[in-house]
């Protein structure tokens, strides 16, 4: 078996459901599933299955011996309690649990947004080119290449819409133009006063 180095992190996809090293595990530790935040491999031994963040917090409280802390069984009630526990700060175990809970759902939200971007297949360079092309007439808003206009033209409100397609990436849609007064041309005096 030959050794092949892993892709550098600058060109590698960051979101995955199958982390293969410590870095990808850390970047994908918290994730969203069924409108809930989950902790990857956060369940109890043996097995360390994925676990809902709220169940992870309950497990952590038990592991830390916080038996006097009555955590609600209902996840919504637990979320509300944890919001209040944020006031405890890192000096108290309850505050630490609240910080972990808040960081967990926040990281899951960020991961899901990054995943949605990565699922488009665009690279950061593609995105930069597309962003620049959005304001450049005659260039594809997806890849930045020159577009081809269709022969149609539809007058709408104070402008016109023309269909376009990109010969490079296949993107297609409509380009909008505002009609702006330019000047009077070929003016001749009429016979009315």
Q: Is residue 193 part of a domain?
A: no
Is the pLDDT at 1 greater than 50? The verdict is: no
% of residues, the chain, pLDDT over 90: 42
Q: Is residue 71 part of a domain?
A: yes
Q: Is residue 190 part of a domain?
A: no
Six-digit token string for 100: 């972990």
**Does residue 67 sit in the same domain as residue 148?**
no
**Does residue 80 sit in the same domain as residue 93?**
yes
Select the more confidently predicted residue: 159 or 99.
Answer: 99
Average predicted confidence (pLDDT) for the chain: 86
What pLDDT score was predicted for residue 56? 95
What pLDDT score was predicted for residue 182? 76
- Give the number of domains in the chain: 2
**Does residue 115 sit in the same domain as residue 133?**
no
Pick the closest to residue 142 from 153, 132, 150, 152 (CA basis): 132
**Does residue 44 sit in the same domain as residue 102?**
yes
Is the pLDDT at 2 greater than 50? The verdict is: no
The residue segments making up the domain with residue 145 are 124-178
Secondary structure percentages of the chain, helix, strand, coil, to 5: 35, 15, 50
CB-CB contact of 50 with 40 (8 Å): yes
Q: Is residue 165 part of a domain?
A: yes
**Does residue 154 sit in the same domain as residue 69?**
no
**Does residue 93 sit in the same domain as residue 167?**
no
Is the pLDDT at 36 greater than 70? The verdict is: yes
Residue position matching structure tokens 């918290």: 30
**Does residue 90 sit in the same domain as residue 139?**
no
Indicate the pTM of the whole model: 0.63
Six-digit token string for 47: 């097995």
**Does residue 114 sit in the same domain as residue 133?**
no
Is the pLDDT at 133 greater than 70? The verdict is: no
Range 27-34 average pLDDT: 95
What pLDDT score was predicted for residue 137? 86
The number of residues in the chain equals 193
Range 167-178 average pLDDT: 89
What pLDDT score was predicted for residue 125? 80
């Amino acid at each position: 078996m030959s050794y092949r180095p892993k892709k550098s992190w600058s060109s590698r996809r960051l979101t995955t459901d199958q982390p293969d090293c410590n870095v990808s595990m850390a970047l994908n530790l918290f994730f969203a599933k069924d409108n809930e935040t989950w902790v990857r491999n956060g369940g109890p031994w043996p097995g360390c299955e994925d676990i809902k963040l709220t169940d992870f917090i309950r497990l952590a409280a038990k592991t830390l011996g916080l038996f006097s802390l009555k955590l609600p069984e209902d996840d919504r009630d637990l979320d509300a309690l944890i919001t209040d526990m944020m006031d405890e700060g890192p000096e108290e175990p309850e505050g630490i649990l609240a910080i972990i809970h808040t960081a967990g759902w926040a990281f899951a939200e960020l991961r899901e947004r990054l995943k949605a971007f990565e699922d488009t297949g665009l690279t950061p360079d593609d995105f930069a080119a597309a962003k620049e092309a959005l304001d450049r007439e005659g260039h594809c808003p997806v890849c930045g290449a020159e577009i081809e206009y269709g022969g149609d033209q539809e007058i709408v409100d104070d402008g016109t819409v023309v269909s376009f397609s990109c010969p490079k990436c296949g993107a297609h849609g409509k380009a909008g133009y505002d009609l702006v007064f330019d000047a009077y041309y070929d003016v001749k005096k009429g016979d009315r006063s």
